Chain A
Amino acid sequence: MAESAVVTENLSKHFGAVKALDDISFKIGKGELFGFIGPDGAGKTTLFRILTTLLLPDGGKATVEGFDTVSEYRQIRRISGYMPGKFSLYHDLSVEENLRFFATIFGTTVSENIHLVQDLYSQIEPFRKRKAGKLSGGMKQKLALCCALIHQPVILFLDEPTTGVDAVSRKEFWEMLNRLRRQQITILVSTPYMDEAGRCDRVALMQSGKIMTIDTPQGIRQQFRKKILAVKGRDMFGLMKILEGFPEIERSYLFGQSLHVTGVSEALTADDLSARLRQQQAPDFRVEEITPDIEDCFIDLTATRE
């Protein structure tokens, strides 16, 4: 991380009484694939809109590639690619026409820059005469990414690109981002899916307009010093009820197929918990210690802050 691509200092924005961004400061290095992870309403879109110069901050400042988002917005618009959360290409223009439109509006041509998006475009090329509104979700997303890249931006803002996209397309999309990173483009991506965190170089966990932590996915897992015990059983609801009654348990929550449990003290082991559950005559269960997931960290951070 030699130079910073994006720097924010004490950035704030509120809509009425709601604080959408609350005193946010961070630095993103050039060429990084950086993820903002948080639930809906965490402030991800507001942050992206400020960085793409669509929104003015109420406090603090932000720079993109050294340009101030307020006073030097013109330069930023020239060098950045933006893919809003909502599909926002022209439905009634064809794939080709959309691409040409966005190339021309940035003062370049499709043929000049097509090599940048060649492997992406080759996937939608068979449909180049089709109207954008008639494409499938995954295709739309590829087209949107093509349009955001066609003017050779040095920085790319992708606001929830994988929301509402099927699992296969999501996987493909992340692979494309990985290839793009090799072209030295800084990529900022936001997502509500915790499982996508592992694909980023670094992630920021956001909640209620604040950044709770910024680290590599690995680092975030390591920050989490607590032991996570996974409880599995036939009667999950019954197990949850029993666990809620244990004073030595800090919290327990449903996580996929199992219940994740953290103890009040580090001393609580899988064996201890098994013994306690047996005492309560819990039927047919299994307890094991697992490595924490990003989501575990997120839940812990959120709970701690509250």
Chain B
Amino acid sequence: MRTVLLIIQKEFIQVFRNRMMLPLIFVVPIIQLLIIVHAATFEVKDARICVVDHDLSTTSRKLVSTFEASPFFQVLGYSADYKEAEKLIRANKADLILSIQAGFEKQLLRERYGQVHLSINAINQQAAGVIQAYSMMIIRDYNRQLIVDWIGRSTPAQARMIPVEYAYWFNPELSYINFMVPGILVLLVTIIGLLLSAMNIVREKEIGTIEQINVTPIHKYQFIAGKLIPFWILALLELAFGLTLGKFLFDIPMVGSLWIIFMTAAEYLLVVLSYGLFLSTVTNTQQQAMFLAFFSMMIFLLMSGLFTPVESMPAWAQEFNRINPIAYFIRIMRMVLLKGSGVSDILKPFLSLGVMALTTLLLTVWRYRKTV
């Protein structure tokens, strides 16, 4: 026990003596939360429309002005020629073309049927999807307005429509921030934990101090425990700091119990830190450890559902997430913070994390060799 405490003490001295470390630990979360949370959003604002209106009727103009009135669209200009408008899309100056054919109004009046054409720049398919959905919504609203205007209130046409009302549970305003902050906090503790641990033992290898440690009677488990606990404490403090920032800067909901959050984090960090130390034992230079850490973090992170929903991934990817600790932790974070899930709700992912923690920990202790 005394030996473990000794190593812990030594690690803390070294961490705090490293001039980069303290700013890193406290500045990184602030920057991450401020930048990523605001920047990484699916909302599309000010999509640029180029209008090709060959009809130039009251009806067509009304449609265009509905688009203009929407905060999501910005009319870039009018063009008489569809080819010209296409050029704007190619030059990435416009995001979509709204083209209305000549005779639109007449056809609509005569045949009760009209057509508009939308061309959307889909270089970013996600943005294109959002723009399409917004456009459809505007056109539908406009359509309904037309019916009301022309047919009048006397007809029962309106009654035939089924009104759909939406209620978004657990995130009523569909706030992107509420969705992102818990995920970003996971990202934060993962980066800090994984990098600190992955670089640690291998650093001692590079400097040569490991040689001196290895000839001492210290036990393997003492060494690993002494290495793990300091980073574990640091990462948990980091999480507390991040949660505080999230609360005060973004007022993210904290419906569930913070105890559950920290219990899960403690368990999750065991997985991350022992994986980091494992990387550290199998590599010979900090560079190798860094590459491996980044590579695995990227994969686990992008698969985890932080940015893209797991539900839309192929089946094999969803299967992969069974062994993805980040996916479990993000899920639990969102469940507890947004929904207020209790222990019984998160028991399964919690136990899965526990199994992973135990496995990686044992693997690391086993893999660490005192002989070279």
Which chain A residues have a beta carbon within 8 Å of chain B's beta carbons? 49, 52-56, 74, 77-78, 80, 82, 84, 86-93, 97, 101-102, 104-107, 147
Contact = CB atoms under 8 A, between A and B. Distances in A.
29 contacts: A49-B372, A53-B371, A54-B211, A54-B370, A55-B371, A77-B217, A78-B217, A80-B215, A82-B211, A84-B208, A84-B212, A88-B209, A88-B211, A88-B212, A89-B212, A90-B14, A92-B17, A92-B18, A93-B10, A101-B10, A104-B6, A105-B6, A105-B216, A105-B217, A106-B216, A106-B217, A107-B3, A107-B217, A147-B212
A82 B371 CA distance: 14
Contacts of A80: 215
Given A84-B211, A84-B212, A97-B13, A105 B372 contact: no
B15 to A, nearest CB: 10
Nearest to A70: B371
Contact of A54 (B6, B209, B215): B215
Contact of B10 (A49, A55, A56, A90): A90
Contact of A91 (B2, B207, B213, B218): B207
A91 B207 CA distance: 9
B35 to A, nearest CB: 31
B283 interface: no
B256 to A, nearest CB: 41
Contacts of A74: 217
Interface string B52-64: 0000000000000
A92 B371 contact: no
Nearest to A88: B208
B285 interface: no
Given A97-B13, A106-B217, A54 B371 contact: yes
Main secondary structure of the interface of B (DSSP, over half): helix
A49 B208 CA distance: 13
A86 B212 CA distance: 10
A105 B209 contact: no
Contact of A104 (B3, B17, B371): B3
Contacts of A105: 3, 6, 213, 216-218
Interface string B1-33: 011001000100110011000000000000000
A49 B212 CA distance: 11
B202 to A, nearest CB: 15
Nearest to B14: A92
A150 to B, nearest CB: 11
Interface residues of B, number: 23
Nearest to B6: A104
A93 B13 contact: yes
B215 A77 contact: yes
A88 B207 contact: yes
A55 to B, nearest CB: 6
B321 interface: no
Interface string B345-372: 0000000000000000000000000111
A86 B213 CA distance: 14
Interface of B: 2-3, 6, 10, 13-14, 17-18, 207-218, 370-372
A105 B212 CA distance: 11
Nearest to B223: A105
A3 B207 CA distance: 37
B209 A102 contact: no
B372 A55 contact: yes
Given A90-B209, A102-B216, A104-B2, 14 more contacts: A49-B372, A52-B215, A54-B211, A77-B215, A77-B217, A80-B215, A84-B211, A88-B211, A92-B17, A101-B10, A104-B3, A105-B213, A107-B217, A147-B212
A208 to B, nearest CB: 21
A101 B372 contact: no
B199 to A, nearest CB: 14
Contacts of A92: 13-14, 17-18
Contacts of A52: 215
A187 to B, nearest CB: 16
Nearest to B226: A105
Contacts of B10: 90, 93, 97, 101
Given A49-B372, A97-B13, A104-B3, A89 B209 contact: yes
B118 to A, nearest CB: 62
A56 to B, nearest CB: 6
B225 to A, nearest CB: 14
Q: Which of B208, B212, B216 is packed against the most chain A CB atoms within 10 Å?
A: B212
A87 B211 CA distance: 10
Contacts of A78: 217
A86 B208 CA distance: 7
Which 7 pairs across A and B sit closest by C-beta, in order of nearness? A88-B208, A86-B208, A82-B215, A88-B212, A77-B217, A104-B6, A84-B211
Contacts of B14: 90, 92-93
Contacts of A107: 2-3, 217
Contacts of B216: 77, 102, 105-106
A235 to B, nearest CB: 46
B207 to A, nearest CB: 7
A147 B371 CA distance: 20
Contacts of A97: 10, 13
Contacts of B209: 88-90
A77 B223 CA distance: 15
A87 B209 CA distance: 8
A107 B217 CA distance: 9
B24 to A, nearest CB: 16
A54 B372 contact: yes
A228 B215 CA distance: 44
A54 B207 CA distance: 17
A124 B362 CA distance: 42
Nearest to A103: B6
Q: Which of A52, A54, A56, A107 is packed against the most chain B CB atoms within 10 Å?
A: A54
B4 to A, nearest CB: 11
A77 B212 CA distance: 11
B203 to A, nearest CB: 10
